[in-house]
Amino acid sequence: MNQPPRIALAIPTFQREQVLVDVLENVLAQSALPDEIIVADQTPQHDPGTQIFLQRLATSNQIKLLHLPEPSLTAARNEIIKATSCDFIIFIDDDVVLPHDYVARYQKILLTPGIALATGPILPGIVGSNPSEQLERHQASSAGASAQITNSSQIDQWVRGGNFAVRKSAAVEIEGFDENFVGPAHGEEGDFARRLLRNKQLMLFAETLPLVHLKVPYGGCRVPRNGHWDEWQKPMNLLLLNFRYPQLSSAWFLRFYSALRNGPLLKENLRFTRFVPSFFHFGRAFYEAGKRRSEIKSSMRQLT
pLDDT at residue 186 greater than cutoff 90:
no
pLDDT (average), residues 43-72:
95
pLDDT at 304 over 80: no
Question: Which residues are within 8 A (CB) of 21 and not within 5 positions of it... i.e. 6 or more apart?
Answer: 49, 50, 53
pLDDT: which is higher, 264 or 256:
256
pLDDT in tens, 271-280: 656 656 676 6
Span(s) in the chain for CATH 3.90.550.10: 7-219
Q: Is the pLDDT of residue 8 over 80?
A: yes
User: For position 250, what pLDDT does the model report?
Assistant: 63
Burial of 296 (0-12, 13-18, 19+ CB in 10 A): middle
Question: How high is the pLDDT of residue 91?
Answer: 98
What is the average per-residue pLDDT within 17-25?
Answer: 97
For the chain, percent of residues with pLDDT exceeding 90: 55
Strands (DSSP E) along 132-267, which ranges? 148-149, 163-167, 202-205, 211-213
pLDDT confidence bin for 178, thresholds 50/70/90: very high
Q: What is the CATH number of domain 7-219?
A: 3.90.550.10
Inter-residue contact 179 to 233 (CB < 8 Å): no
What is the pLDDT, as a whole number, of residue 82?
A: 97
Which of 144-148, 151-155, 190-194, 219-223 has the largest mean confidence?
190-194
Residue range 207-235, pLDDT digits in tens: 999 999 998 888 776 644 445 667 778 88
Stretch among 12-16, 190-194, 241-245 having the lowest mean pLDDT: 241-245
Confidence of residue 145 (pLDDT cuts 50, 70, 90): confident
Q: By mean pLDDT, which of 25-29, 49-53, 150-154, 206-210 is the weakest?
A: 150-154
- Specify the pLDDT at position 221: 67
pTM: 0.89
| pLDDT of amino acid 194 | 92
Q: What is the mean pLDDT of the chain?
A: 86
**Predicted pLDDT at 129:** 82
What lies within 8 Å, CB to CB, of 148 at 6+ separation is: 204, 205, 206
Task: Indicate if the pLDDT at residue 1 is higher than 50.
Answer: no
How far apart CA 282 and CA 272 sit, in angstroms, is: 15
Band of residue 119 on the pLDDT scale cut at 50, 70, 90: very high
Alpha carbons 104 and 59: distance in angstroms, whole number: 26
Per-residue pLDDT for 125 more than 50? Answer: yes
d(CA 138, CA 140): 5
Contact 235, 223 (CB under 8 A): no
Arithmetic mean of pLDDT, 84-107: 97
- Give the residue-averaged pLDDT of 249-267: 65
The pLDDT, as a whole number, for residue 182 is 86
Cα separation of 125 and 130, whole Å?
A: 8
pLDDT (0 to 100) of residue 219? 78
